[in-house]
Amino acid sequence: MKKDLLSVADLNKKEMDDLFALAIKIKKPTKAGKSPKLLADKTMAMIFEKPSLRTRVTFETGMTQLGGHGIFLEMSLGKRESTPDIARNINRWVDLIMARTFAHKSIVEIAENTDIPVINALSDLEHPCQIFADFLTILEHKKKFKGLKLVYIGDGNNVCNSLLLAAATLGVNMTVGCPQGYEPDRGIWEKAQELAAKTKTTLQIVRDPREAARQADVIYTDVWASMGQESEKDLKARVFAPYQVNKHIIAAAKKDCMVLHCLPAHREEEITSEVLDGPHSQVLDQAENRLHIQKAIMVTLVKNNARRPKAKKKK
């Protein structure tokens, strides 16, 4: 694995499989209250430009359970100090940085100005930690990836972008059901298509949400207007009304389909309570797995990128 986890595309299939295996290995003792102290005496700076429930609780809890410590930093990058200056200072104090930002370039700037691992805990382009938790949940329930059909219905946002990259790498066929003009990022789509060609995976965009959901193994949705897009809320509510995940969408999928949502959910908007709380929903397993997969990510990055003492200058 590279020094940082900024994008799902930073990992190949073997590295993803290794993450899932480690997360499952860590999960068992964690559930028994005996989490291994694999990050004892390590400290992580947690930078938040956006409010958070799952991201903060799972990362901070994960560090504590692993014997380390997380420091919560609520700040606007580049306002009081430049992002590079912030990164260079934090680099001298801690062993690991995770950042939840608006602009993806902020995550990149942090990584470029540190020699410690940096984790993208959400940016406007990608949400890799969430997506690895999603695929861990799929693996636990479906016992495989190859040949599954994953359907994402809604806005082609950061979650959709990262889902495409992971699906293409892991051999999961993916259909995006979205209206015209709300497709995933073009660069991400092209990269995902390159990955899909190697794994003989099918990626497609479909306008009709029920057609998209046909014979789906997994149906995934997210809020229509993400944080920072509040001004678009009313417009998106009108445009995406036909894309609500409800009983009619579920009826088009396989009888044993899973329903996933990265949360928080806006009930009766992108998803009905009937579906969110229904027998197909695995959103709480999905949310729990943020804890376990992020522990695996932190352990792997710290282990693979331990600071090496500088060589002594020859006299």
> Tens of pLDDT along the chain (315 residues)?
889 999 999 999 999 999 999 999 999 999 888 999 999 999 999 999 999 999 999 999 999 999 999 999 999 999 999 999 999 999 999 999 999 999 999 999 999 999 999 999 999 999 999 999 999 999 999 999 999 999 999 999 999 999 999 999 999 999 999 999 999 999 999 999 999 999 999 999 999 999 999 999 999 999 998 776 778 889 999 999 999 999 999 999 999 999 999 999 999 999 999 999 999 999 999 999 999 999 999 999 999 987 544 444 444
Residue type, 294: Q
Q: Show the tokens assigned to 16.
A: 């993803």
Residue type, 284: L
Q: Given 134, 155, 217, 222, which residue is catalytic?
A: 222
Neighbours of 109 (CB within 10 A): 21
8-127+290-304 maps to CATH 3.40.50.1370: yes
Check if 65 is active-site.
Answer: no
Check if 186 is active-site.
Answer: no
Q: Given 54, 56, 100, 292, which residue is catalytic?
A: 100
Q: Given 54, 104, 130, 134, which residue is catalytic?
A: 130
According to DSSP, residue 128 is labeled H
Output the CA–CA distances (angstroms, integers) from residue 137 to 64, 133, 134, in the order listed: 23, 6, 5
Q: Given 286, 290, 292, 294, which residue is catalytic?
A: 290
Check if 248 is active-site.
Answer: no
Judge contact between 121 and 50, C-beta under 8 A: no
Q: Given 54, 127, 261, 292, which residue is catalytic?
A: 127
CA gyration radius, the chain: 20
Q: Which of 225, 219, 226 is nearest to 275 (CA)?
A: 219
Output the CA–CA distances (angstroms, integers) from residue 306 to 12, 115, 254, 299, in the order listed: 21, 10, 46, 11
What is the per-residue pLDDT for 307? 56
Unique residue bearing structure tokens 């965009």 = 205
CA geometry: angle 72, 61, 51, nearest 5 deg: 45
130-287 maps to CATH 3.40.50.1370: yes
User: Where are the domains positioned within the chain?
Assistant: 8-127+290-304, 130-287
For 280-294, write each residue's pLDDT tens digit: 999 999 999 999 999
What CA–CA distance (Å, rounded) separates 54 from 116?
Answer: 24
Q: Given 262, 280, 282, 294, which residue is catalytic?
A: 262
What is the rounded average pLDDT for all residues in the chain? 95
Q: Show the tokens assigned to 85.
A: 């200056």
This prediction's pTM:
0.95
Check if 290 is active-site.
Answer: yes
What CA–CA distance (Å, rounded) separates 93 from 190?
Answer: 39
